[in-house]
């Protein structure tokens, strides 16, 4: 028998270490022989790249040692529940994306690629989506991955009062909302069916070109009904969890680390270069940053905002700052004068300079917003290399001073040219960051003669005021659950929408959105682009800044690509000398 290896990279388990704490799954001899040739080149680099020496299983004269390639990823706020349908924390999502794969997946840059399904097609009316699974695909325990596993996952996600946090994302599936809200108790009424073992068919309530983007979400990952029904509480533990992704769950010591081991049954295991992924958990981010620069981690996620600016200056090759699908903005109550005048709203937008706001109030830890939609979303625009200058839709190269001059002209054109002729109250939910941003915004608006009163309230009170329409302008934030323009533009669809706090409505915008819902993907992208331009023209909101991902990535890590969802599957990564 081989001696199991310690959970920490680079150490062998001592004889006294209990085997239940450190588990090492030993691979079959033939699999090891197949990988020995490619791994021997790394023998001299074991120390510098954090490799672990593992032992081979006993066999007929097959006793030796090989080198396995490890990557060490630091995360904050370790996972609580590694359950695809119920996970919500960023750390949980990162780990689950290594363990499971849905019908479709994302490449390193975030583009949609085939996942467990090798192909799919849609009906002419866009209501039926048919996915064909890859043949000979297996779970980590060797059982074939079948269509019923996806059907069960969606039935579980949308079960009556399931409490699954992302269930409502899939209400475009026929019968989903009725089932999830308890109006139906029949799971067979859900529009997700298996046709044999290899085909999954979805029936939708309306054309949804963004449906593929939804299926990337971790809530759509398949799960095993037999294992969950056998032990609903323990199926996610090491040794019991069965996965269909690039890795399996080898060890999990809550609050300390998680180790994932390569899943040799994964359909693309030959392309997976990292054998073990260690997710080390840090309650104090500074400790993780210190270990990263000490060479004990290859990746550290979620660098604190207030440290990002200094790292950009001191470690520009290691810090990665990139826009995400989250935007902070000011919503304007368009039912109140003078904010019902688009000229006044655009004047306010011109006066608020996003790059200055990010630099002075946020220490360059986020990204300036040049529009309500994040740059690059849905393939409409690619993020530029240089940070944009100024709020959308004002084109470069206007300076902040020039934009203030334009804002004053617009206010005068609206009959509000006198100093202090406009007073407003800026509402925000209490936090140190929101207070700094509100103060900076008030200062910028004062420079065009607008008097601003700041009103901070706790989260519940603040959003209660927004829902009631009891505000002039107010801070709000939006996190899109999928990478598609509709995830943002839906906020402006109807004055009665619960998230359309400013009660904005526009017939031209509504027509564009209705038109887009009936088009193919290419035409839809162009129409949604025009809809976004319409929002920019009328300024029902003022984008303040885009939340950024802030990751430390060692120079020897290859395969990493920044992307809007800030999801970086370990299957694409590798380590070089």
Q: Is 301 domain-assigned?
A: no
Domain-ending residue, one of 231, 248, 283 = 231
CATH code where residue 361 lies? 3.10.105.10
Structural contact between residues 101 and 245, judged by C-beta atoms closer than 8 angstroms: yes
Q: Is 255 domain-assigned?
A: no
To 10 degrees, what angle do helices 354-361 and 432-446 make? Answer: 130
Structural contact between residues 183 and 175, judged by C-beta atoms closer than 8 angstroms: no
Give the C-alpha distances (Å, rounded to integers) separating 152 from 99, 133, 137, 158, 255: 18, 15, 18, 10, 31
Residue 42: per-residue pLDDT: 36
Q: Report residue 68 as tokens.
A: 């396995």
Do 402 and 519 share a domain, yes or no?
Answer: yes
Task: Give me the DSSP letters along 427-481.
Answer: EEE--HHHHHHHHHHHHHHHTTTEEEEEEEE-HHHHHHHHHHT--SEEEEEEE-S
Strand partners, 552: 300, 319
Q: Report residue 13 as tokens.
A: 């388990």
Residue 39: per-residue pLDDT: 41
C-alpha span between 299 and 210 (Å, rounded): 31
Question: Which residue's structure tokens are 């323009």?
Answer: 485
Nearest to 262 by CA among 252, 248, 241, 242: 248
Q: Report residue 312 as tokens.
A: 């950009």
Residue 374: per-residue pLDDT: 85
Question: Which residue's structure tokens are 């890859």?
Answer: 134
Domain-ending residue, one of 231, 262, 288 = 231
Residue 525: per-residue pLDDT: 87
C-alpha span between 129 and 203 (Å, rounded): 7
Q: Which domain holds residue 176?
A: 100-231
Q: Residues 6 or more apart from 318 whose CB is under 8 A from it?
A: 292, 311, 552, 553, 554, 555
Q: Is 363 domain-assigned?
A: yes
C-alpha span between 471 and 525 (Å, rounded): 34
> Cα 454 from chain centroid?
32
Cis peptide bond prior to 397, omega within 30° of 0 = yes
Q: Where are the alpha helices (DSSP H) in 112-203?
A: 147-157, 176-180
Q: Is 286 domain-assigned?
A: no
Do 381 and 512 share a domain, yes or no?
Answer: yes
Residue 380: per-residue pLDDT: 61
Give the C-alpha distances (Å, rounded to integers) separating 486 from 58, 203, 380, 408: 56, 20, 12, 33
Q: Residues 6 or more apart from 295 whose CB is under 8 A from it?
A: none
Do 384 and 521 share a domain, yes or no?
Answer: yes
Q: Is 24 domain-assigned?
A: no
Q: Is 145 domain-assigned?
A: yes
Neighbours of 43 (CB within 10 A): 12
Q: Which residues of 301-321 are buried (b: 16+ CB within 10 A; e: fewer)?
A: bbbebebbbebbeeeeebbbb
Domain-ending residue, one of 231, 261, 290 = 231
Do 196 and 345 share a domain, yes or no?
Answer: no
Residue 496: per-residue pLDDT: 52
Give the C-alpha distances (Å, rounded to integers) separating 84 from 93, 196, 253, 259, 569: 8, 24, 19, 18, 15
Residue 161: per-residue pLDDT: 79
- Which three-class secondary structure string do you get for 380-423? CCCCCCCCCCCCCCCCCCCCHHHHHHHHHHHHHHCCCCCCCCEE
Residue 420: per-residue pLDDT: 64
Do 545 and 423 share a domain, yes or no?
Answer: yes
Q: Is 516 domain-assigned?
A: yes
C-alpha span between 112 and 129 (Å, rounded): 16
Do 381 and 503 share a domain, yes or no?
Answer: yes
Residue 375: per-residue pLDDT: 78
Number of domains comprising the chain:
2
Which residues of the chain register pLDDT less than 70?
1-66, 379-397, 418-420, 495-497
Do 478 and 345 share a domain, yes or no?
Answer: yes
Question: Which residue's structure tokens are 């706020």?
Answer: 77
Task: Give me the DSSP letters along 468-524.
Answer: HT--SEEEEEEE-SSSSTHHHHGGGS-TT-TT-TT----HHHHHHHHHHTTS-HHHH
Residue 66: per-residue pLDDT: 62
C-alpha span between 268 and 277 (Å, rounded): 17
Structural contact between residues 276 and 52, judged by C-beta atoms closer than 8 angstroms: yes
C-alpha span between 25 and 413 (Å, rounded): 73
CATH code where residue 116 lies? 3.90.76.10
In angstroms and rounded to an integer, the radius of gyration of the C-alpha atoms of the chain is: 26
Q: Is 31 domain-assigned?
A: no
pTM of the model: 0.80
């Amino acid at each position: 028998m081989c001696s199991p290896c310690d959970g920490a990279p680079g150490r062998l388990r001592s004889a006294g270490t209990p085997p239940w704490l450190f588990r090492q799954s030993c691979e079959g001899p033939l699999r090891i022989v197949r990988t020995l040739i490619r791994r021997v080149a790394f023998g001299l680099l074991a120390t510098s790249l954090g490799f672990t020496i593992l032992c081979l299983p006993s066999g007929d004269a097959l006793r030796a040692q090989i080198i396995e390639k490890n990557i060490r990823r630091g995360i904050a706020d370790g996972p609580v529940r590694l359950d695809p349908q119920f996970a919500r924390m960023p750390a949980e999502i990162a780990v689950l994306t290594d363990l499971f794969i849905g019908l479709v997946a994302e490449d390193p840059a975030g583009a949609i690629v085939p996942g467990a399904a090798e192909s799919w097609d849609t009906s002419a009316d866009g209501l039926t989506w048919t996915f064909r699974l890859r043949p000979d695909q297996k779970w980590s325990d060797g059982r074939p991955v079948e269509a019923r596993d996806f059907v069960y996952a969606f039935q579980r996600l949308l079960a009556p009062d399931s409490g699954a946090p992302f269930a409502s994302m899939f209400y475009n599936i026929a019968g989903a909302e009725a089932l999830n809200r308890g109006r139906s108790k029949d799971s067979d009424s859900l529009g997700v069916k298996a046709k044999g073992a290899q085909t999954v068919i979805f029936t939708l309530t309306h054309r949804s070109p963004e449906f593929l983007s939804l299926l990337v979400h971790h809530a759509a990952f398949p799960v095993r009904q037999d294992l969950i029904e056998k032990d609903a509480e323990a199926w996610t533990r090491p040794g019991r969890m069965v996965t269909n992704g690039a890795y399996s769950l080898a060890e999990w010591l809550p609050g300390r680390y998680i180790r994932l081991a390569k899943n040799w049954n994964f359909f693309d295991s030959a392309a997976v270069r990292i054998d073990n992924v260690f997710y080390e958990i840090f309650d104090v981010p500074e400790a993780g940053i210190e270990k990263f620069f000490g060479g004990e981690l290859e990746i550290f996620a979620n660098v604190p905002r207030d440290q990002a600016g200094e790292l950009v200056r001191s470690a520009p090759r290691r810090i990665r700052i990139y826009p995400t699908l989250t935007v902070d903005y000011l919503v304007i109550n368009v039912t109140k004068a003078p904010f019902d005048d688009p000229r006044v709203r655009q004047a306010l937008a011109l006066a608020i300079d996003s790059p200055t706001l990010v630099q002075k109030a946020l220490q360059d830890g986020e990204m300036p917003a040049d529009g309500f939609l994040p740059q690059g979303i849905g393939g409409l625009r690619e993020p530029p290399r240089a940070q944009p200058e100024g709020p959308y839709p004002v084109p470069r190269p206007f300076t902040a001073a020039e934009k203030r001059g334009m804002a004053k002209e617009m206010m005068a054109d609206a009959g509000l040219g006198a100093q202090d002729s406009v007073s407003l109250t800026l509402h925000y939910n209490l936090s140190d960051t929101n207070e700094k941003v509100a103060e900076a915004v008030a200062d910028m608006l004062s420079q065009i003669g607008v008097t601003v009163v700041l009103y901070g309230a706790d989260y519940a009170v603040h959003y209660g005021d927004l829902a009631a329409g009891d505000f002039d302008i107010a801070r709000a934030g939006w996190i899109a659950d999928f990478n598609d323009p509709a995830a943002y533009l839906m906020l402006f669809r109807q004055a009665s929408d619960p998230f359309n706090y400013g009660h904005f409505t526009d017939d031209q915008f509504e027509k564009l959105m209705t038109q887009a819902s009936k088009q193919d993907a290419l035409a839809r992208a162009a129409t949604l682009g025009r809809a976004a331009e319409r929002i920019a023209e009328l300024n029902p909101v003022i984008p303040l800044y885009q939340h950024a991902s802030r990751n430390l990535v060692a120079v020897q890590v290859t395969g990493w690509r920044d992307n809007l969802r800030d999801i970086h599957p370990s299957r694409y990564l590798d380590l070089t000398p």
